[in-house]
């Protein structure tokens, strides 16, 4: 016969008060007890947020994909080791912490203590490295799944004459190669805040739809996937679906 702690009844009562009807099926799963309480804390944070920016940030950082990077094995050789400053800024941005001194950006806008302007600034060099890193990760993931792929393939043009970001050299599905185009949009940009403060990933999904329109002409010969992500870590619908396919490839 198993022993029962004399505090069990009291603990259950306190838990049920905080999380009505959420008691775990398995009393011995610490994860299940914690999940219900963490969901409560998150909801309280979202409900008490005082600005659309805070709400959008909380919604985005609480998506599953926004924390994938925390599960990556830190390795210098495969590019997953973050230096101290990068890690500090990354965590600070997600927490909405004060991470820098206010100053004037060379675009003329004021950069506040939270550092969000740099994520949306049209003159920020970070936009290019984010885009390049994103495509590098997609290509390496395909290669790891034994699907050789190249970046910026020649001979394929979208409606505005630009090239897609990448293409597989072997068929991906239905005898057709995969062509992808990736984009990273800012969750907190003025142009997106109206939708991102309501649901996570909506700016990325919107960007993916815009990409689909630009690539309408190649969809008959290729499987086209727009891969939209946001600066606060949430992904678009197509990116999530492609990632699922890639995991089972
Ligand atoms: Zn700027």
Q: State the distance from the centre of ligand 1 to the C-alpha of 104, rounded, in angstroms.
A: 8
The angle subtended at Cα 49 by Cα 107 and Cα 105, nearest 5°, is 10
Give pLDDT tens digits for 123-167.
Answer: 888 888 899 999 999 999 999 999 999 999 987 777 677 789 999
- How many angstroms does the Cα of residue 186 sit away from the middle of ligand 1? 13
How much of the chain exceeds pLDDT 70, in percent? 97
Contact (CB, 8 A) for 139 and 243: no
What is the phi/psi pair of residue 71, to 5°?
-95, -5
* 65 CA distance to ligand 1 middle (Å): 28
Q: Regarding beta strands 176-185 and 166-173, do their DSSP bridges make them parallel or antiparallel, or are they unpaired?
A: antiparallel
Query: pLDDT above 90 covers what percent of the chain?
Result: 73
Q: Is the pLDDT of residue 25 over 90?
A: no
Instruction: Identify the band that residue 17 occupies on the pLDDT scale cut at 50, 70 and 90.
Output: very high
Across the range 240-244, mean pLDDT stands at 96
Q: Mind listing the pLDDT tens digit for each residue in 60-103?
A: 999 999 999 999 899 988 778 999 999 999 999 999 999 999 99
Inform me whether the pLDDT recorded for 57 exceeds 80. Answer: yes
Could you give the CA distance from residue 126 to residue 115 in angstroms, rounded to a whole number?
13
Cα Rg of the chain, angstroms:
22
pLDDT band at 1 (very low <50, low <70, confident <90, very high): very low
Residues 46, 97: Cα–Cα separation, whole Å: 16
**DSSP run (H or E) holding 166:** strand 166-173
Domains identified in the chain and CATH numbers: 9-48 (no CATH), 82-123 (no CATH), 125-247 (3.40.1350)
Tens digit of each residue's pLDDT (9 = 90 or more) over 199-218: 999 999 999 999 999 888 88
Separation of 120 CA from ligand 1 center, angstroms?
8
Range with the largest mean pLDDT of 2-16, 156-170, 218-232: 218-232
Q: How far is the CA of 106 from the centre of ligand 1 (A)?
A: 6
Residues 189 and 120 sit within 8 Å (Cβ to Cβ): yes
Find the 22 Cα to ligand 1 centroid distance in Å: 46
CA 183 to ligand 1 centroid distance, Å: 19
**Half-sphere exposure at residue 174, Cβ-oriented, CA atoms within 13 angstroms:** 7
How far apart are the CA of 226 and the centre of ligand 1, in A? 27
Ramachandran region, residue 223 (left: φ > 0; alpha: ψ -120 to 50; beta: rest):
beta
Q: Find the 135 Cα to ligand 1 centroid distance in Å.
A: 24
113 alpha carbon – ligand 1 mean position (Å):
14
Residues 6+ apart with CB under 8 A from 127: 184
**pLDDT of residue 39 exceeding 50:** yes
Q: How far is the CA of 112 from the centre of ligand 1 (A)?
A: 11
The count of C-alpha atoms lying within 13 angstroms of the C-alpha of 232, restricted to the half-sphere facing its C-beta, is 32
H or E stretch including 230?
strand 223-230
Beta bridge partners of 179: 167, 224
Calculate the average pLDDT of the chain: 91
Q: Is the pLDDT of residue 178 over 90?
A: yes
């Amino acid at each position: 016969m198993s022993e029962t702690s004399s505090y069990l009844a009291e603990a259950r009562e306190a838990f049920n008060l905080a999380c009505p009807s959420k008691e775990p099926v398995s009393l011995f799963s610490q994860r299940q007890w914690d999940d219900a309480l963490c969901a409560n804390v998150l909801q309280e944070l979202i409900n008490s947020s005082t600005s659309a920016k805070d709400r959008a940030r909380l919604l985005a950082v609480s998506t599953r994909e926004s924390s994938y990077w925390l599960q990556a094995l830190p390795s210098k050789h495969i590019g997953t080791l973050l230096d101290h400053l990068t890690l500090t800024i990354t965590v600070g941005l997600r927490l909405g912490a004060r991470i820098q001194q206010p100053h004037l950006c060379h675009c003329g806008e004021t950069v506040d203590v939270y550092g969000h302007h740099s994520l949306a600034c049209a003159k920020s060099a970070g936009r290019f490295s984010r885009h390049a890193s994103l495509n590098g990760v997609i290509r390496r993931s395909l290669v790891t799944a034994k699907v050789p792929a190249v970046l910026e393939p020649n001979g394929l043009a979208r409606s505005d004459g630009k090239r897609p970001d990448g293409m597989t050299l072997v068929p991906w599905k239905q005898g057709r190669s995969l062509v992808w185009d990736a984009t990273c949009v800012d969750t907190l940009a003025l142009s997106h805040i109206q939708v991102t403060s309501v649901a996570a990933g909506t700016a990325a999904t919107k960007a993916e739809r815009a990409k689909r329109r630009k690539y309408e002409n190649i969809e008959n010969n290729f499987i086209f996937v727009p891969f939209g992500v946001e600066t606060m870590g949430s992904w678009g619908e197509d990116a999530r679906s492609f990632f699922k396919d890639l995991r089972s490839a």
